[in-house]
A and B are shown apart, each in its own frame.
Chain A
Amino acid sequence: MHNIMSDPLIRIEGISKKFTGRDGTATTVFEDLYFSIEPGEFVCLIGHSGCGKTTILNVLSGLEQSSSGYVFVGGREVSGPSLDRAVIFQSHALMPWLTVMGNIAFAVSSRWPEWNQEKVRAHCQQYIDLVNLTGAEKKRPAELSGGMKQRVGIARALSIQPKMLLMDEPFSALDALTRGVLQEEVLRICAETRQTVFMITHDVDEAILLADKIVLMTNGPHAKVAEIVVNTLPRSRTRHDLHKHPHYYRIRNHLIDFLVDRSKVFASDSPDYDPRHPPLVSPGLDPAEAAALAPVSGKPLAAVR
């Protein structure tokens, strides 16, 4: 499909977002963001609220425009929403007057307007089965639990066979048990379909479970990409044995350490920071140096680079 496989699917070049308040003062939420997403990659974005995470996702989806900078998808600049990039909304955003089948069929018939009803139905059923909602086709969203609603949201997004899936904290409104189950299903589905995913989260464990790369944002305003953490855990991970892997706690500590302390003081922390090439770190890798990571040491994390 991609003639040049090494080319990133998504390239973000120096995007920023300014909001003008009621009194006319402009606030720069984030600026100078540079990162890219390879085909088949699962990238999570973590940051405190106020760093513009949802805005970044909306810019990627084309629903919002950045104040400056560019987003390229497959070499083309993003100018608006596209069926190539499906969005899974935090609040699931299902149409309450449509059934499960109706909600997915709306997406499918938007993607392939020439399909007849029978073909649309069969295609929808495939994705309803994929998210384990078989039997609930005729139910309306009001009759579904929170987890089931989000499954419909996932099925709707996948059904249009997008190049890229954008998820905005898709599981944050769910209880811990349901969230865990859905995370594993997303993991399974992404492994089966080799789907490229960009996901916003504030859940460190969710990021470690799902992501290949974790983009860390500093606090807003003027938020930046602080660093990109490579998840060195093997891809065949499950929620069950995730914490048994030696890399797990190192990555986790690194992320939590960042969120608690370094996200605030990042700028003063790294004088040689270049926003165009945010540092790529693999905190999971080296056990010897990981000892220096212990919270008591308070030493800069540059050692693990």
Chain B
Amino acid sequence: MNHLLSWRAPLLSLIVFLLLIGVWHALTLPKSSAPQTVGSEYAALVGAEASTGQKSAFPSPADVGRKILEHLREPFYDRGPNDKGIGIQLAYSIVRVMIGYLLAAMVAIPVGFLIGMSPTVYRALDPYIQVLKPISPLAWMPLALFTLKDSSVSAIFVIFICSLWPMLINTAFGVSSVRREWLNVSRTLEVGHLRTALRVILPAAAPTIMTGMRISISIAWLVIVAAEMLVGGTGIGYFVWNEWNNLSITNIITAILAIGLVGMLLDLMMAKLTKLVTFTE
């Protein structure tokens, strides 16, 4: 029974994939209808075949497949500021996400600890968190550009701001909901505050903290694309926008797939780390 089920899901996945590709392929097949008349500028833009209606302006799966292979063959080429391999662009984005994210963790976890341990600090900081949390991270961008005067640093700041809240709130929640009896054990053993924080509260709250960190990295990866579209220069977000200006739909689709894959890998990585600190009661 189990071995039957074990290949059913992958088979279904494959069928869905083939179906999607099939529909896509069918929709982008060359039409046999009479040549359409289009403006000469549009014809120049989309190419001769597409302008006459023989070929769809939207790339076929085969076109995208060829483009992906092309990128895979040479992911890290660098031919000037407007022509860099997709691997380089992804690496720029990942580095920015990591810097902003780690800075956010360095702030959010200690502050979250403080908020979680002290109801007074919680009540004092709660209004700020409630107001700052719903602000779209991109709304900070102009302010960041004005004060930091560097587009790359501004992008990192935006990542910092958007990663901060889930980690802060989850850390505070995890710390404040550590079971009273574990703290009592610590108290009856006359364990100091720092040792209690590191040996009891931190491991007890770790699964909740990691959940916050996992949410944060996903949000950071969502936001970096938009942030790089705004600040330009390098990164996968800039790559997408640049290819839109080049009207290279195949490159855009390739980039979208790459963004999805990297996002999935980041999430998987965090899931693995979460598993390390999770305990069963």
Are B188 and A95 in contact, with the CB atoms below 8 A? Answer: no
Q: Is the beta-carbon distance between B279 and A140 smaller than 8 angstroms?
A: yes
**Which one of A42-50, A84-92, A259-267 contacts B?**
A84-92
Contacts known (A93-B181, A95-B204); A160 close to B281, Cβ less than 8 A: no
Give Cα distance in the complex from A63 to B185, angstroms: 10
Interface string of B131-147 (1 = CB under 8 A from A): 00000000000000000
Chain A minimum-CB-distance residue to B184: A63
A81 within 8 A of B: yes
Does B42 have its Cβ within 8 Å of any Cβ on chain A?
Answer: no
The answer to whether B184 touches A93 (Cβ under 8 A) is: yes
Residues of B within 8 A of A (CB): 179, 181-182, 184-185, 187-191, 195, 199-200, 203-204, 206, 277, 279-281
Pick the 7 closest A-B CB pairs, nearest first.
A93-B181, A110-B189, A97-B279, A142-B280, A96-B279, A81-B188, A81-B187
**Which A residue sits closest to B199, measured CB to CB?**
A106
Question: How many chain A residues touch the partner (CB < 8 A)?
Answer: 25
Main secondary structure of the interface of A (DSSP, over half): loop
* Docked CA distance A86–B188 (Å): 7
Query: A residues touching B (Cβ–Cβ < 8 Å)?
Result: 61-63, 80-83, 85-87, 89, 91, 93, 95-98, 106-107, 110-111, 140-142, 160
CB distance from B113 to the nearest CB of A (A): 17
Q: When chains A and B are docked, how far (Å) is the Cα of A111 from the Cα of B188?
A: 10
Closest to A156 in B: B185
Q: How far is the CA of A106 from the CA of B184 in the complex (A)?
A: 14
| B279 and A110 within 8 A (CB) | no
Q: How far is the CB of B254 from chain A (nearest CB, A)?
A: 43
CB pair B181–A107 under 8 Å, yes or no, is: no
Complex CA distance for A93 and B203, rounded to whole angstroms: 15
- Min CB gap B183→A, angstroms: 10
| B108 shortest CB reach to chain A, Å | 22
